[in-house]
């Protein structure tokens, strides 16, 4: 069982940030819980099969198959995302229903999404949409570089917040996902609950923005504080914000050992 | 409004919803009026919010068959909102916006509007594609352009362009793909690859759809499943790469593409027969091709069983401008296919429509590959020699004519003479059944066809009637079918109906438009919008604007930029006042077509006829005081967008068959009565052009609050049930009959058509008692009888029984009633009166008949005016007319001799000022050509005419049979008649006919048509009167227009 400890926190009505130290049981957590989540996406093999039919379109498939034929690198940021999802599910009353496709993201695509799309309970009765971004960084500076700049966490969160079309697309897309499900499917129930809140005229919290930073340094509130203030200051009606820094008890680059070999060093 | 309950919509208050509708309406209106509009931040946010909720609801209703109407309704609303929201500037956002907009137009059954949006918003296709674009961007932009082509499909090239664009992309793959993939960071390569894979499948689906649209192959089911396959693959790849937005776009495209296949005209040919396949191939290759069916067409043809051979009678009950003619064309082909050697009758209310429909059917069905023979017969209530010939030679598959004429033809046994069966009767504007003037005749026509033509199917085309079910039960008691649109909101285009008025004082005034809430409303917002204000060119104080003609002229000037306007006025005098004002306000325009028509009007009605100068400023007129040809040409100029304004009278406006951008009604009543609500909506239906900003504007002039109240009430009145004229007549019979005796009432002229029907029935029975015993069944063939209550049924039956007994032993009279369209009573009277004239055969020769010296025509007119049926259509008021009708007979003689209207007006009215010329034209076209033609044709058939038909040579027979046609066409030679049948203007018909006769030797309408088509303008030149400022070439061009 993973134990955690709050290193620092700052709670306001609609926004908060927290530094959480992940302590005992992290090895086990990585090699079972996170590992399971990490591999819970469509296999590459199956995708290559799907590509075999591209010639029926009159286009060539070769280059695309080549890309999928090289075995996927196990990047730290992908593990970070899986870890963030597991953490949110286990400690923040968050639910994810659709495996996100860490392996095949394209941030430069004409049309974009978000790292995390799920649901969060904000009180006994209320469930709202959650949109989130995850950054993993071994940078010694505080705050780390990944918080800044155009592809930095804060800008990405701001983008979700300021770009209603993106949010709308994500919600519509979920709508299609739940459409075929039976009415008592938990995914559909969550969706309908969250959508009701989202559509409510004048609702105070319509959706939740989550930013998760994965660190292997000592906890310092400077990792989040200034960036949090900057994002909070232009928080618009309807959004709730929480930034969480997870301080893991091992170097980031070591995480993949637990994913690949359940903790045996990969030689 | 008219929302349905759905949990996502419950968050939306009625107030917000209403507000959104009003914003949309108002912006559409402003856009139409001023070419621009602005949204406030608040308005924009509101619309975006509602759009989001609607879209989320749509997703929940996706693919739910039982919710498809709700789905369409919301899609249409999304389309409306997207049209109003500003188009994003950068290419990618713009593409997303437009793809969504177009998809919703399809899903909302408004694809023609989506298509129009693409054409009107010029920058929809301005997308920058250059070598800076990465491969994925390039794919996105080019697939977008291909979709634009697919949706626009103005021509065959558009579709092949769409297919070619996809092909080019395939060639570009080599050049761009590798470079692009190399540029993507390693960790994102797979995402990029998945995106490309989505695009490839997307592109393929576009190609499949484009090819299907072009060729109709493979089958629609197969195409749908192929598109389904490729786009679902695309969606899967998007989902895998978390590319949510693209995933959504592909879902929308999938639904839209399926809809395009579903609406495709090819689907009609898949299920029916070879004739229909040829037809579809033909119209998809035409210069203005048709690839997709409008919603009502698709619903009628593919979903509601229009072509179901088991349905003997169908009422197609659709709004004006829903493409009813195409529906009729499909039915024609189905009927001809179903019955070997059958023929079809297509009946319409007016002479103008006989021409228009004939031209349209010839264009669509008369050419290769179908080569159906389409012929028309004039509206004259007689059958001239050439028409007899047409029947004798069995030379047509489809016959187009008027209600009354077909009634006459059927009673004269056309089916028997042809030796072919009438397999389908199409009745256009069938709501005329309720017209006090002609309704009974139409009803009796349908009843007679039901009784005489055992194989005939019936297709009634009507604008909206609430009780179409009842009507269809009448025409097909065993298997009634009524086709109407279920969706309350579907209209060919959006319309705003409102009032216009002036406010202010002296020379400081403004004009306003204020929308009204109506029974048919779509577009409404509670706000008055300023149209314009006082300007020096008007130079008129506020007080004068109480005159609605003046107010209307000013508003027309202020709306100049809106597009072609139709102005409707109560009387011909009012139209002259309005055009005179408009002439002061507008600047001249130069246009070749207008100049041509100007020369023609000058040649026909004189250089000084004011329409000539009005035309030079783009102002046209359309009323009974203008010859048929000129009216037709006015409509043509309007359709071609050449006129700024067309000013028409209320009566004529109802028959106008082309769309206009806006309608201004200086009046909404007929000269002597209020306009029936159905007629009003029929005129309103013309507002909104397919090729322009879709909103149609209808304004009604008001001068004060009281006026405004009246109009407000009027537009909220419900369109009533379609009722038979017979019902009212039986009421009268019951009330007055007690005092005056039923026998007397039933002999009133309005009963004529009914009595003819009874007489016709009588002919088919051996004796009175046999008919009486079957009377119930026979009367049941009429619509009126069916809807009478039992007591009234008895009243009518008793009157008929009494009447029938009197017919006993009068077989020859009854026979003549069928031949002439007179009631048996009129026949008896006529035989007697003609006998008293003591005519000889030679009196009937045209040289003697149309001769002021002999006086024969005068005497015949005297008899005509004693026959109630003819009297109604021949009474003309000519100042100074004598009791011997010398002026009227002089008028007819002048008309037949080919004199020009200016000359006739001078001779008969003693003046050639424009009003007089107009009165003269009206007398001729409204009265003479109908009444005198009918009267003469009937008299020729009387046993007392002095002609012994058994002794006539064929030549003599022909000369006599063509006498009435000379009056109808206003020419005095047979070759002139043949020219007129072929739409040659009267002023050159005799002369050109002479040349034709000399050159070809024979005379027939068909050979004349071929001759006219091939003769160079030099031949036409020879026929032009020397004093005219118009060339043979001009005439030829005019002729080409008139012949469609």
B978 touches B968 (CB < 8 A): no
Q: For B202-254, how does the pLDDT look when each residue is reduced to its tens digit (9 = 90+)?
A: 999 999 999 999 888 888 999 999 999 999 999 988 888 777 788 889 999 99
CB contact under 8 A, A106 and B140: no
Q: For A128-165, how does the pLDDT look when each residue is reduced to its tens digit (9 = 90+)?
A: 999 988 999 888 888 898 888 777 888 888 888 888 87
CB contact under 8 A, A59 and B190: no
Q: Which chain A residues are Cβ-neighbours of B143 within 8 angstroms? A: none
For an interface test with B, which of A172, A197, A198 has the most B Cβ atoms less than 10 Å from its Cβ? A172
pLDDT value of residue B967:
94
3-state class (DSSP) for residue A131: strand
Round to whole Å and give the CA distance between B999 and B1019.
Answer: 11
Q: Which chain A residues are Cβ-neighbours of B207 within 8 angstroms? A: 58
**Does A192 touch chain B if contact means CB atoms closer than 8 Å?**
yes
**Does B138 touch chain A if contact means CB atoms closer than 8 Å?**
no
Round to whole Å and give the CA distance between B784 and B434.
Answer: 10
**Does A64 touch chain B if contact means CB atoms closer than 8 Å?**
yes
**pLDDT band at residue B1 under the 50/70/90 scheme:** very low
CB contact under 8 A, A107 and B237: no
Distance set, CA B522 to CA B77, B491, B494 (Å): 12, 9, 6
Give the nearest chain B residue to A77 (CA atoms): B187
Nearest to B647 by CA among B621, B627, B666: B621
Backbone angle region of B606, left / alpha / beta, with phi > 0 → left and psi within -120 to 50 → alpha: left
Burial of B658 from C-beta contacts in 10 A (0-12 / 13-18 / 19+): middle
Q: Which chain A residues are Cβ-neighbours of B243 within 8 angstroms? A: 106, 109, 111-113
pLDDT beyond 90 at B278? no
pLDDT value of residue B552:
96
**Does B9 touch chain A if contact means CB atoms closer than 8 Å?**
no
**Does B11 touch chain A if contact means CB atoms closer than 8 Å?**
yes
Tokens of B435: 């017209």
pLDDT beyond 70 at A59? yes
Round to whole Å and give the CA distance between B700 and A225.
Answer: 67
pLDDT beyond 80 at A100? no
pLDDT value of residue A266:
46
pLDDT beyond 90 at B555? yes
Output A44 or B150, whichever has higher pLDDT: B150
**pLDDT band at residue A88 under the 50/70/90 scheme:** very high
Output A237 or B627, whichever has higher pLDDT: B627
**pLDDT band at residue B3 under the 50/70/90 scheme:** low
pLDDT value of residue B105:
94
Round to whole Å and give the CA distance between B988 and B976.
Answer: 9
Question: CB within 8 A of A50, min separation 6: which ones?
Answer: B197, B233, B236, B237
Round to whole Å and give the CA distance between B615 and B597.
Answer: 8
pLDDT beyond 50 at B887? yes
| 128-167 of A, contacting B, C-beta below 8 A | 164-166
Output B558 or B476, whichever has higher pLDDT: B558
For an interface test with A, which of B245, B249, B254 has the most A Cβ atoms less than 10 Å from its Cβ? B245
DSSP secondary structure string, B977-1037?
HHHHHTT--HHHHHHHHHHHHHHHSS--HHHHHHHHHH--HHHHHHHS-TT-S--HHHHHH
DSSP secondary structure string, B183-208?
HS-GGGHHHHHHHHHHHHHHHHHHHH
Distance set, CA B837 to CA B305, B594, B769, B856 (Å): 58, 50, 38, 9
Q: What is the mean pLDDT of residues B676-693?
A: 78
CB contact under 8 A, A58 and B249: no
The conformation of residue B738, written as its DSSP 8-state character, comes to: H
Backbone angle region of B266, left / alpha / beta, with phi > 0 → left and psi within -120 to 50 → alpha: alpha
User: Min CA distance, B984 vs chain A (Å)?
Assistant: 57
CB contact under 8 A, B56 and A104: no
Q: What is the mean pLDDT of residues A217-231?
A: 90
| 139-168 of B, contacting A, C-beta below 8 A | 140, 166-167
* DSSP strand pairing (B342-348 vs B398-402): parallel
Place of tokens 């093999």: A45
Q: Which of A105, A171, A199 sits opposite B191 (nearest CB)?
A: A105
B662 touches B699 (CB < 8 A): yes
Q: What is the mean pLDDT of residues B928-952?
A: 91
Question: CB within 8 A of B668, min separation 6: which ones?
Answer: B568, B650, B675, B680, B700, B711, B714
In SS3 terms, B517-531 reads as: CCCCCCECCCCCEEE
pLDDT value of residue B486:
62
pLDDT value of residue A83:
93
**pLDDT band at residue B716 under the 50/70/90 scheme:** confident
b/e per residue, B498-526, with b = 16+ CB within 10 A? Answer: bbbbbeeeeeebebbbbbbebebbbbbbe
Residue B825 sits at φ, ψ, to 5 deg, of -65, -45
Q: Could you report the predicted ipTM of this complex, rounded to two decimals?
A: 0.85
**Does A49 touch chain B if contact means CB atoms closer than 8 Å?**
no
Q: For B86-119, how does the pLDDT look when each residue is reduced to its tens digit (9 = 90+)?
A: 999 889 889 999 999 999 999 998 888 898 888 8
CB contact under 8 A, B240 and A104: yes
CB contact under 8 A, A176 and B247: yes
The conformation of residue B9, written as its DSSP 8-state character, comes to: G
**Does B875 touch chain A if contact means CB atoms closer than 8 Å?**
no
pLDDT value of residue A267:
42
CB contact under 8 A, B59 and A175: yes
pLDDT value of residue B2:
45
pLDDT beyond 70 at B17? yes
CB contact under 8 A, A58 and B190: no
pLDDT mean across residues, chain B:
89
Q: Which of A51, A166, A175 sits opposite B56 (nearest CB)?
A: A175
pLDDT beyond 80 at A112? no
B315 touches B481 (CB < 8 A): yes
**Does B178 touch chain A if contact means CB atoms closer than 8 Å?**
yes
**pLDDT band at residue A61 under the 50/70/90 scheme:** confident
Distance set, CA A253 to CA A245, A248, A260, B72, B95 (Å): 17, 11, 12, 54, 42
Tokens of B390: 């047409």
Give the nearest chain B residue to A170 (CA atoms): B244
pLDDT value of residue B168:
94
pLDDT value of residue A107:
54
User: Min CA distance, A4 vs chain B (Å)?
Assistant: 31
CB contact under 8 A, B190 and A67: yes
Q: Which chain A residues are Cβ-neighbours of B194 within 8 angstroms? A: 47, 104, 106
B991 touches B608 (CB < 8 A): no
3-state class (DSSP) for residue B643: coil
Give the nearest chain A residue to B176 (CA atoms): A63
**Does A171 touch chain B if contact means CB atoms closer than 8 Å?**
yes
User: Min CA distance, A220 vs chain B (Å)?
Assistant: 30
Burial of B256 from C-beta contacts in 10 A (0-12 / 13-18 / 19+): buried
Place of tokens 């020219």: B979
Question: CB within 8 A of A21, min separation 6: which ones?
Answer: A4, A5, A6, A7, A219, A247, A249
Q: Omega of the bond prior to B411 within 30 degrees of 0, cis?
A: no
**pLDDT band at residue B999 under the 50/70/90 scheme:** very high
**pLDDT band at residue B622 under the 50/70/90 scheme:** very high
| 91-120 of A, contacting B, C-beta below 8 A | 100-101, 103-113
CA angle B647, B652, B657 (to 5 degrees): 90
Q: For B770-822, how does the pLDDT look when each residue is reduced to its tens digit (9 = 90+)?
A: 888 888 888 999 999 998 999 999 989 988 888 888 888 888 888 898 888 88
Tokens of A128: 């709202």
Q: Which chain A residues are Cβ-neighbours of B246 within 8 angstroms? A: 109-111
pLDDT beyond 70 at A42? no
Report how far Cα B756 is from the mean position of its chain's Cα atoms: 30
Round to whole Å and give the CA distance between B17 and B13.
Answer: 6
* Interface contacts (A, B; CB < 8 Å): 161
Give the nearest chain B residue to A106 (CA atoms): B191
B321 touches B659 (CB < 8 A): yes
**Does A62 touch chain B if contact means CB atoms closer than 8 Å?**
no
Give the nearest chain A residue to B232 (CA atoms): A50
Report percent pLDDT > 90 for chain B: 49
pLDDT beyond 70 at A265? no
Output B743 or B981, whichever has higher pLDDT: B981
Nearest to B311 by CA among B467, B484, B480, B425: B480
**pLDDT band at residue B550 under the 50/70/90 scheme:** very high
For an interface test with A, which of B45, B138, B194, B208 has the most A Cβ atoms less than 10 Å from its Cβ? B194
Q: Which chain A residues are Cβ-neighbours of B63 within 8 angstroms? A: 179
User: Min CA distance, A227 vs chain B (Å)?
Assistant: 26
Residue B737 sits at φ, ψ, to 5 deg, of -55, -35
* Bridge partners of residue B511, in order along the sequence: B502, B532
* Bridge partners of residue A134, in order along the sequence: A212
Give the nearest chain B residue to A59 (CA atoms): B170
Residue B794 sits at φ, ψ, to 5 deg, of -65, -40
**Half-sphere exposure in the Cβ direction for A266 (13 Å, CA):** 11
Q: For B598-616, how does the pLDDT look when each residue is reduced to its tens digit (9 = 90+)?
A: 999 999 888 889 999 999 9
Q: For B123-178, how does the pLDDT look when each residue is reduced to its tens digit (9 = 90+)?
A: 888 888 888 888 999 999 999 999 999 998 888 889 999 999 999 999 999 899 99
Nearest to B443 by CA among B181, B756, B188, B740: B756
pLDDT value of residue A110:
47
Q: At what angle are helices A164-179 and A153-162 packed, to 10 degrees? A: 80
In SS3 terms, B224-293 reads as: HHHHHHHHHHHHHHHHHCCCHHHHHHHHHHHHHHHHHHHHECHHHHHHCCHHHHHHHHHHHCCCCCCCEC
Q: For A156-203, how does the pLDDT look when each residue is reduced to its tens digit (9 = 90+)?
A: 888 888 888 788 888 888 888 888 888 899 999 999 999 988 888 777
B574 touches B666 (CB < 8 A): yes
**Does B243 touch chain A if contact means CB atoms closer than 8 Å?**
yes
Q: For B33-72, how does the pLDDT look when each residue is reduced to its tens digit (9 = 90+)?
A: 888 889 999 999 999 989 989 998 998 888 888 888 889 9
Q: For B851-879, how does the pLDDT look when each residue is reduced to its tens digit (9 = 90+)?
A: 988 989 999 999 999 998 888 888 888 88
């Amino acid at each position: 069982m993973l134990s955690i400890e709050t290193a620092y926190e700052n709670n306001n009505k609609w926004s908060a940030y927290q530094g959480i130290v992940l302590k005992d049981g992290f090895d086990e957590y990585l090699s079972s819980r996170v590992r399971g989540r990490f591999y819970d996406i469509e296999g590459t093999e199956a995708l290559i099969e799907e590509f075999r039919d591209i010639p029926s379109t009159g286009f060539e498939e070769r280059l695309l198959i080549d890309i999928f034929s090289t075995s996927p690198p196990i990047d730290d940021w992908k593990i970070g995302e899986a870890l963030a999802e597991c953490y949110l599910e286990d400690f923040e009353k968050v639910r994810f229903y659709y495996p996100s496709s860490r392996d095949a993201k394209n941030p430069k695509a004409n049309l974009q999404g978000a790292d995390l799309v799920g649901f969060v309970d904000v009180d006994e009765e209320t469930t709202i949409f959650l949109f989130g971004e995850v950054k993993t960084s071994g940078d010694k500076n505080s705050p780390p570089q990944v918080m800044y700049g155009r592809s930095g966490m804060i800008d990405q969160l701001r983008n979700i917040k300021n770009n209603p079309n993106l949010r709308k697309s994500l919600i519509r897309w979920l709508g299609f996902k739940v459409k075929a499900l039976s009415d008592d499917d938990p995914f559909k129930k969550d969706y309908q609950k969250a959508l009701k809140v989202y559509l409510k005229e004048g609702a105070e919290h319509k959706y939740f923005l989550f930013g998760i930073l994965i660190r292997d340094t000592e906890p310092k509130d400077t990792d989040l504080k200034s960036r949090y203030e900057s994002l909070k200051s232009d928080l618009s009606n309807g959004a709730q914000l929480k930034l969480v820094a997870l301080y893991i008890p091992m170097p980031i680059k070591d995480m993949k050992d637990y994913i690949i070999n359940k903790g045996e060093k990969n030689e | 409004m008219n929302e349905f309950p759905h949990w996502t919509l419950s968050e939306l208050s009625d107030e917000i919803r209403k507000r959104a509708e009003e914003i949309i309406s108002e912006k559409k209106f402003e856009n139409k009026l001023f070419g621009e509009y602005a949204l406030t931040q608040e308005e924009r946010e509101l619309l975006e919010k509602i759009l989001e909720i609607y879209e989320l609801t749509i997703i929940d209703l996706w693919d739910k068959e039982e919710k498809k109407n709700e789905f369409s309704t919301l899609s249409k609303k999304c389309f409306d909102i997207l049209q109003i929201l500003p188009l994003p500037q950068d290419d990618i956002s713009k593409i997303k916006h437009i793809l969504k907009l177009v998809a919703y137009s399809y899903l909302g059954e408004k694809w023609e509007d989506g298509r129009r949006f693409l054409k009107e918003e010029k920058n929809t296709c301005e997308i920058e594609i250059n070598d800076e674009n990465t491969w994925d961007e390039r794919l996105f932009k080019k697939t977008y352009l291909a979709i634009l082509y697919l949706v626009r499909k103005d021509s065959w090239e558009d579709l092949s362009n769409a297919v070619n664009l996809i092909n080019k992309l395939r060639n570009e793959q080599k050049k761009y793909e590798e470079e692009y993939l190399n540029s993507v960071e390693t960790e994102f390569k797979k995402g990029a690859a998945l995106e490309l894979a989505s695009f490839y499948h997307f592109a393929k689906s576009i190609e499949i759809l484009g090819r299907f649209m072009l060729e109709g192959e493979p089958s629609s089911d197969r195409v749908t499943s192929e598109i389904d396959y490729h786009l679902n693959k695309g969606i899967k790849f998007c989902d895998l790469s978390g590319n949510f937005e693209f995933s959504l776009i592909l879902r929308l495209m999938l639904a839209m593409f399926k809809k395009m296949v579903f609406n495709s005209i090819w689907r009609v040919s898949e299920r029916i027969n070879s004739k229909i396949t040829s037809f579809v191939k033909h119209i998809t290759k035409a210069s203005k091709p048709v690839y997709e069916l409008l919603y009502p067409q698709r619903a009628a043809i593919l979903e509601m069983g229009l072509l179901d051979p088991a349905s003997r009678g169908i009422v197609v009950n659709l709004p004006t401008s829903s493409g009813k003619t195409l529906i009729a064309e499909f039915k024609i082909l189905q009927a001809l296919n179903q019955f070997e050697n059958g023929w079809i009758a297509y009946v319409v209310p007016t002479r103008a429509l006989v021409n228009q429909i004939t031209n349209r059917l010839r264009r669509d069905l008369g050419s290769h590959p179908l080569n159906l023979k389409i012929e028309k017969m004039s509206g004259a209530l007689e059958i001239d020699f050439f028409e007899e010939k047409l029947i004798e030679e069995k030379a047509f598959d489809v016959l187009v004519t008027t209600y009354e004429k077909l009634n006459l033809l059927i009673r004269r046994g056309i089916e028997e003479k042809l030796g072919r069966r009438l397999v389908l009767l199409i009745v256009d504007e069938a709501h005329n059944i309720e017209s006090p003037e002609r309704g009974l005749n139409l009803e009796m026509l349908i009843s007679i066809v039901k009784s005489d033509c055992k194989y005939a199917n019936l297709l009634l085309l009507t604008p909206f009637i609430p009780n179409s079910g009842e009507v269809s039960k009448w025409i097909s008691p065993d298997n009634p079918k009524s086709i109407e649109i279920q969706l309350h909101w579907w209209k060919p285009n959006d319309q705003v109906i409102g009032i216009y008025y002036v406010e202010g004082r002296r020379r400081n005034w403004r004009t306003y438009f204020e929308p009204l809430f109506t029974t048919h409303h779509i577009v409404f917002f509670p706000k008055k919008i300023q149209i314009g204000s006082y300007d020096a060119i008007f130079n008129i104080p506020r007080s004068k604007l109480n005159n609605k003609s003046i107010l209307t002229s000013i508003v027309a000037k202020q709306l100049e930029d809106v597009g072609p306007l139709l102005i409707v006025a109560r009387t011909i005098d009012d139209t002259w006042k309005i055009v005179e004002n408009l002439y002061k306000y507008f600047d001249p325009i130069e246009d070749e077509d207008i100049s041509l028509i100007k020369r023609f009007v000058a040649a026909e009605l004189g250089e000084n006829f004011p329409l000539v100068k009005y035309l030079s400023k783009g102002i046209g007129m359309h009323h009974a005081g203008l010859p048929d040809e000129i009216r037709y040409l006015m409509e043509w100029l309007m359709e071609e967008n050449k006129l700024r304004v067309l000013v028409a009278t209320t009566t004529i406006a109802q028959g106008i068959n082309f769309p206009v951008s806006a309608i201004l009604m200086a009046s909404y009543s007929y000269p002597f009565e209020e306009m029936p609500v159905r007629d009003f909506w029929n005129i309103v239906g013309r507002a909104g052009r397919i090729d322009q900003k879709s909103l149609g504007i209808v304004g009604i002039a008001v001068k004060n609050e009281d006026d405004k109240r009246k109009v407000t009430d009027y537009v909220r009145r419900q369109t009533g049930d379609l009722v038979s004229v017979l019902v009212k007549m039986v009421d009268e019979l019951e009330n007055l009959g007690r005092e005056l005796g039923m026998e007397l009432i039933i002999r009133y002229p309005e009963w004529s058509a009914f009595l003819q029907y009874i007489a016709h029935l009588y002919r088919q029975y051996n004796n009175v008692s046999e008919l009486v015993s079957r009377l119930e069944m026979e009367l049941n063939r009429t619509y009126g009888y069916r809807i009478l209550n039992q007591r009234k049924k008895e009243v009518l039956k008793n009157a008929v029984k009494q009447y029938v007994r009197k017919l006993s032993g009068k077989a020859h009279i009854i026979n003549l009633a069928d031949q002439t369209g007179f009631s048996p009573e009129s026949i008896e009277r006529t035989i007697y009166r003609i006998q008293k004239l003591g005519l000889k055969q030679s009196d009937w020769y045209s040289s003697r008949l149309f001769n002021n010296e002999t006086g024969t025509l005068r005497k015949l007119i005297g008899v005509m005016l004693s026959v109630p049926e003819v009297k109604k259509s021949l009474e003309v008021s000519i100042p100074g007319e004598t009791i011997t009708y010398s002026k009227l007979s002089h008028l007819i003689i002048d008309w037949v001799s080919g004199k020009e209207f200016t000359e006739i007006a001078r001779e008969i009215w003693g003046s050639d000022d424009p009003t007089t010329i107009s009165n003269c034209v009206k007398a001729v076209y409204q009265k003479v050509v109908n009444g005198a033609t009918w009267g003469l044709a009937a008299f020729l058939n009387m046993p007392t005419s002095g002609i012994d038909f058994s002794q006539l040579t064929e030549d003599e027979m022909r000369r006599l049979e063509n006498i009435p046609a000379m009056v109808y066409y206003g020419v005095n030679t047979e070759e002139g008649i043949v020219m007129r049948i072929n739409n040659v203007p009267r002023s050159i018909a005799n002369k050109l006919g002479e040349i034709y006769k000399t050159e070809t030797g024979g005379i027939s309408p068909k050979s004349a048509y071929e001759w006219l088509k091939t003769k160079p303008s030099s031949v036409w030149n020879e026929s032009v009167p020397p004093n005219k400022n118009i060339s043979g070439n001009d005439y030829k061009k005019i002729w080409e227009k008139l012949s469609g």
